[in-house]
Amino acid sequence: MTKYQNINERVISIKEDIEEINSLIEEYKPFIASVVEKHVNRYVEYGIDDELSIGLMAFHEAIEKYDIDKGNFLAFAKMTIKHRLIDHYRKEQKGQGQVISLEQEKQDDEEYVNLYVDEAVKEYTEAQKSQLRRIELEEIKKELALWGISFADVAKSSPKQEGTRRTYLAAIDYIMKTPELIDIIKNKKYLPVEKIAAGLKIPRKRIELGRNYIIAAVLILSGDYQYINEYIKWR
């Protein structure tokens, strides 16, 4: 059984385990590369580009410094990587004897402060989006495994007819608008079929048939799965 529900919990749990930290860094090398490439605006390769070494060290730093109050770990890691790259280029300029004005220092600091905002408004290339989507798919796969649900199970329960689809979407919408139901699903790990059927005034069997699909949808919509959510057509 998967030990962690999400990446945030995993990072908090492995802080003192160097082998687990190294395993996580190895697993997220594609993510680190995508962040570095976006910042330097060119293709980079491990073992060749110094920026990737900086990215790896920054990702390690993010693991050590992360706590839940900092929000989503991957967003925090992006910020840390970009900050370290800014530091690197600043030191490089000084080393080459270039004068960095106070205004430039201010601009660099403002860039760091605004990194979270930048991430929300800048467009990723399709390749970068696909890479991040794959990472999210691995995360939701682990979360579904806690329910004993696989992607194949979700596919089998996906609605094949428009009427069934509308019913499932109505159930998902009802859950997302009812914090009590989300809490039951996320924390108690069961789908409250009776409550949903009563709230929508439909037979419970119709909800039970779409159990796996509905659970997967709620976990994605209520979790930190931006790129999967963008990809799936819920309506």
Nearest alpha carbon to residue 223 among 9, 63, 2, 78? 9
Nearest alpha carbon to residue 7 among 96, 54, 71, 50? 71
For the chain, what are the domain ranges?
7-122, 149-231
Sign, CA torsion 38/42/43/45? negative
* 32: Cα separation from own chain's centroid: 13
Nearest alpha carbon to residue 70 among 3, 163, 8? 8
Instruction: Tell me the chain's radius of gyration from C-alpha atoms.
Output: 21
Burial degree of 134 (CB within 10 A; 0-12, 13-18, 19+): middle
What residue has token string 């949903």?
Answer: 196
Question: Digits of tens for pLDDT over the chain (235 positions)?
Answer: 456 778 888 999 999 899 999 999 999 999 999 999 888 888 888 888 889 999 999 999 999 999 887 778 998 899 899 888 888 877 766 555 544 444 545 455 555 545 544 444 344 455 666 777 888 888 899 999 999 999 999 999 888 898 999 999 999 999 999 999 999 998 899 999 999 999 999 999 999 999 999 999 999 998 878 778 776 765 5
Separation between Cα atoms, residue 218 and residue 182, nearest integer Å: 8
Q: Is 67 helix (H, G, I), strand (E, B) or coil?
A: coil
Output the pLDDT for position 126: 59
Q: Is 134:228 a contact under the CB 8 Å cutoff? A: no
Q: Is 64:90 a contact under the CB 8 Å cutoff? A: no
Q: Is 10 helix (H, G, I), strand (E, B) or coil?
A: helix
Q: Return the structure tokens found at 103.
A: 């205004």
Output the pLDDT for position 226: 77
Q: Is 163:18 a contact under the CB 8 Å cutoff? A: no
Output the pLDDT for position 116: 44
